[in-house]
Amino acid sequence: TRRVIVDTDTAGDDTQGLLLAALSDRVSLEGVTICAGNVPFEYQVENAKYTLDLAGVADEVPVYEGARSPLLTDHEFAEYIHGEGGLGGDLFPDTGIPSADEHAVDYIVRTARENPGEITLVCIAPLTNVALALQREPDLPELLDDVWIMGGAVNTLGNVTPAAEYNFWVDPDAARLVMSELEATLVDWGVTVRDSLFGPDVFEEVEAMDTPLADFFLTVTDAVREFNAQSEHDALGADVTTQPDSLTVATLLEPDLIEESGTYYVEVDDREGPTRGYSLVDELGVTDGEPRTRVVESVDEERFERLMLDMLRHGDP
C-alpha cells in the first residue's frame, strides 16, 4: 500500500477525493495538508476534519495547516462554485478537532526526508504548499515516491479563464515551479470534463442509497450542479457535477482507470494577463524542455462511476 499525503483546499470535490483516499485499503492516508484555495482558510480546515471524521479516520489522520495565500499573487476564492463555506451552502462544520502543531510545509519536508522513496504526494489544490516544500528541500523530487496533481487545462478551455484552470491560475508561480521540478501524473480540467461528469441518472441512484456518504455527496455537489447548469462551456450547461479531485485520487487508487496518457514537457505561464496559469504541453516535442509529466488523456468513465458509487453505497471504493 502506498503511503499518501493529500494536499487540499477542501471544498466539494476535494471532500470526495479525501474520502476515496481515507476509505480505500490500497493506500494509507498519513496526513492531510491544507493550502489556500477555494474558500476562506478556516472553512477548508474544518471541511477536511469533518470529511475525515465522516470516514472514521479523524483520530489517525492529522490535518496540517499550510500556506494561507499564494506565493506572489492576490488570492481569489471560488465560493461562486462551491458555496460560501465550500460544502454546498448550508453546511459549516465545527468539529472541535485540533489541527496538528506542525506547519504543512514542514510536515511534507520532514516526512519525505524521514521516509525516502516512500511517500506519494497527491495535490488537489493550488500548488503553494508544494512549491514552498520544494524551495525548502530541493531534493524533494528524489525523496518522494510519486506525485499526482490535479491542475491545468491541456489543449482545452479552462474553468476560470479560457486559458486556465483554477489550481494553476490561483498560484501560477507555484504551479510553474512545481511542474518544472517534479515528475508527476497530471489530471487536468480537460479529462475531468470529458470523462468524469455525473448527470441526473447518477444523482437518482445516489439519492436512493440513503447512506451518510451519499447524503454528503448530494450536499457538497449541490452548488456545483447549479453552477454547471449555467456554464457556457460546451460540455456543461446541464445538471452535471465535475469531479476533478476525486478523479485524480481514483486514478491513483486504480491506475487501470487510465486509458490513454502521454509524457510531455509542461510549462505554466506565470505572467499576469490573459494567459496567466496556462499550461503549455509540448506534445509536439519542439521545445528543449524535458518531458517529465504524465498527462492523463482519457479515463474509463464507467469504472470511475462504479468506484464512486461503491464508495457512497458501502464506504469501500
Residues that bind Ca ion (CB under 5 A): 9, 14, 124-125, 245
Should residue 189 be labelled a site residue for ligand BDR when binding is judged by CB under 6 A? Answer: yes
Backbone angles phi, psi at 309, to 5 degrees: -70, -35
Cell of 217: 455527496
Stretch that binds ligand BDR, among 8-16, 68-76, 207-215, 295-303 (CB under 6 A): 8-16
In which residue are the cell numbers 471524521 written? 53
Measured from the CB of residue 189, what is the shortest distance to ligand BDR in angstroms?
Answer: 6
Binding mask 145-184 for ligand BDR (x = CB under 6 A): -----x--------x-----xxx-----------------
The least distance separating ligand BDR from the CB of residue 260, rounded to whole angstroms, comes to: 21
CB 153, min distance to ligand BDR, A: 8
* Closest of 64, 79, 75, 83 to residue 36, by C-alpha: 75
Rounded to 10°, the helix 12-23/212-229 angle is 150
Min dist CB 138 to ligand BDR, Å, is: 26
Tell me the backbone φ, ψ of residue 147, rounded to 5 degrees.
Answer: -135, 135
Q: State the binding string over 231-270 for ligand BDR (x if CB under 6 A, else -).
A: -------------xx-------------------------
Enumerate residues 79-108 that contact ligand BDR by CB under 6 A. Answer: 81
> Phi and psi for 197 in degrees, rounded to 5?
-75, 140
Q: Is 78 in the site for ligand BDR (CB under 6 A)?
A: yes
Alpha-helix runs per DSSP H in the chain: 12-23, 41-54, 79-82, 104-114, 128-136, 140-143, 166-170, 172-181, 189-195, 200-209, 212-229, 244-253, 301-314
Q: Does 48 bind ligand BDR (CB under 6 A)?
A: no
Asked if residues 30 and 18 have their Cβ atoms less than 8 Å apart, the reply is no
Minimal distance in Å, beta carbon 37 to Ca ion?
6
Q: How many residues bind ligand BDR (CB under 6 A)?
A: 15
Q: How far apart are CA 270 and CA 115, in angstroms?
A: 32
Phi/psi for 150 (5° steps) reads: -100, 120
Instruction: Out of 15, 33, 38, 246, point to the residue binding ligand BDR (CB under 6 A).
Output: 38
The residue at minimum Cβ distance from ligand BDR is: 166
- For position 122 contacting ligand BDR by CB under 6 A, the verdict is no
Residue 159 contact partner, candidates Ca ion, ligand BDR, none, CB within 5 to 8 A by sort of partner: ligand BDR
Distance spanning both ends of the chain, measured CA to CA = 15
Q: Enumerate binding residues for ligand BDR (CB under 6 A).
A: 11, 13-14, 38, 78, 81, 124, 150, 159, 165-167, 189, 244-245
